[in-house]
Structure 1
Amino acid sequence: MIETKQITKIVNTNEGELQILQPISFKVKAGESVAIVGASGSGKSTLLSLLAGLDQVSGGEIYLDGANLHGMNEEQRARLRGEKVGFIFQSFMLVQSLTALENIMLPAEIAGLDNAKALGQQILEQVGLGHRGSHYPNQLSGGEQQRVAIARAFITKPKILFADEPTGNLDAANSHKVEELLFDLNRDSDTTLVLVTHDANLAKKCQRQLQMQAGSLQEITASDDLTDETTPAKQQVG
């Protein structure tokens, strides 16, 4: 479903070139859940943006469901995201002038689905917010906003879902609700799930855990103790 071949990311700074990602190669199977953990600044969110086509690699190749992502222009990548990808942002990224239902409907409307409103209402019920559809984001709690963001990401039934710190801004109770929702929807829709998190407990719920350290990606094996974001991993990826 996802395959990278020696991808790198280099940015220009006032002090010269900065290599954020070392050459990385790995695969994610269809329907698999994968957590990427690591300290702040290690490159994990950058990697997620590259995988989702929100940013471009400096070198290497990325394939999403067989599509050559690295060879596409922005318009082509946007079309691919609309057809196959959902993305959940840590900061929710809801449109403040739209109601919860309208925010959820937006990707379906962009995709040209005729039943966007019915689909939106259905998934709003699934995330437990059927009674909040007419409310605007500033009238919702942080946990409710994140559930709306998850519903929005799932409305087009994407083959791949990327989530960047999906519980990072939530309290313990709402974090638990969001975690359950993510994995329930992942299982029910057979969606490939790749998430970035600092939360070791959330990471352990995924089928695989990968650790980012100084721009390099490593597989966390069964013998490793994933107790926090800095636990060393033993099997190099790529």
Structure 2
Amino acid sequence: MIKTSKVTKSVNTSEGKLEILHPISFEVKSGESVAIIGASGSGKSTLLGLLAGLDEVSKGEIHLDGEPLHTMDEEARAVLRGQKVGFIFQSFMLVQSLTAIENVMLPAEIAGLDNPKQMASKILEQVGIGHRASHYPNQLSGGEQQRVAIARAFITSPKILFADEPTGNLDATNSHKVEELLFALNREKGTTLVLVTHDNELAAKCDRQLTMQAGVLTESTPVSPRQRSEAV
């Protein structure tokens, strides 16, 4: 589903070139859940943005469901994201002038899907906030906004879901609800899940863990099925 080969990311600064990501090569299988863990500033969110086509690699290759993401311009990457990718941001990134249901409908409308309002209503019920469909983001709690963001990410049934610190702005109760929801939808729809987190408990619920440190990605100790079931 995802294959990277010697991916790097660097930026030019007043002090010279800054290497954010050193050569990274790994694969994620279809339907797999993978956590990328590491301290703030380690490069994990940068990597997630590259995998989702939100940014361009400096060098190397990324294939997303067989598509060569590294050769595409922004317009082509946007089309691919619309067809195959869902993205959940830590800061929710909801459109403040739209209601919850209108926010969820938006990707379906862009994709030209039939009955976007009916689809949005159904998935809002699935995430437990159908009764808040007509409310605007500033009328919703942080946990409710994140559930709207999850519904928006899943409405087009993406093959791949990327989540950047999906519980980072939530309290313990809402974090647990969002975690349960992410993995339930992942299992039910067979969606490949790649998430970035500094939360080791959340990471332990994934099939695999990768660790990012100073722009270098390494495979963490595999988590046994028993450990995963206990974490869940």
Q: Same fold (TM over 0.5)?
A: yes
**Per-residue CA shift, 1:86-123, capped at 9, x if unaligned?**
00000000000000000000000000012111100000
Q: Partner of 1:32 in structure 2?
A: 32
Distance in structure 2 (CA, Å) of the matches to 1:32 and 1:157: 16
Structure 1 unaligned regions, length at least 5: 224-238
Q: Secondary structure at the match of 1:61?
A: strand
TM score, norm. by length of structure 1: 0.93
Contact persistence 2:63–2:69 (CA under 8 A): yes
Distance in structure 2 (CA, Å) of the matches to 1:8 and 1:153: 27
Q: Partner of 2:86 in structure 1?
A: 86
Aligned-residue offset at 1:222:
3.5
Structure 2 unaligned regions, length at least 5: 224-232
Q: Partner of 2:41 in structure 1?
A: 41
Aligned-residue offset at 1:65:
0.2
TM score, norm. by length of structure 2: 0.95
Contact persistence 2:104–2:151 (CA under 8 A): yes
Q: Partner of 1:235 in structure 2?
A: none
Calculate percent identity across the aligned residue pairs: 78
Q: Partner of 1:233 in structure 2?
A: none
Q: Partner of 1:228 in structure 2?
A: none
Aligned-residue offset at 1:14:
1.3
Q: Within 5 Å, which residues of 2 pair with 1:107-126?
A: 107-126=107-126
Aligned-residue offset at 1:7:
0.3
Q: Partner of 2:227 in structure 1?
A: none
Q: Partner of 1:14 in structure 2?
A: 14
Aligned-residue offset at 1:13:
1.0
Q: Does 1:203 align with 2:182?
A: no
Q: Partner of 1:69 in structure 2?
A: 69
Q: Partner of 2:179 in structure 1?
A: 179
Distance in structure 2 (CA, Å) of the matches to 1:179 and 1:166: 8
CA RMSD of aligned residues (A): 1.0
Q: Within 5 Å, which residues of 2 pair with 1:127-142?
A: 127-142=127-142
Distance in structure 1 (CA, Å) of the matches to 2:141 and 2:58: 39
Distance in structure 1 (CA, Å) of the matches to 2:222 and 2:21: 25
Distance in structure 2 (CA, Å) of the matches to 1:222 and 1:99: 42
Distance in structure 2 (CA, Å) of the matches to 1:13 and 1:182: 38
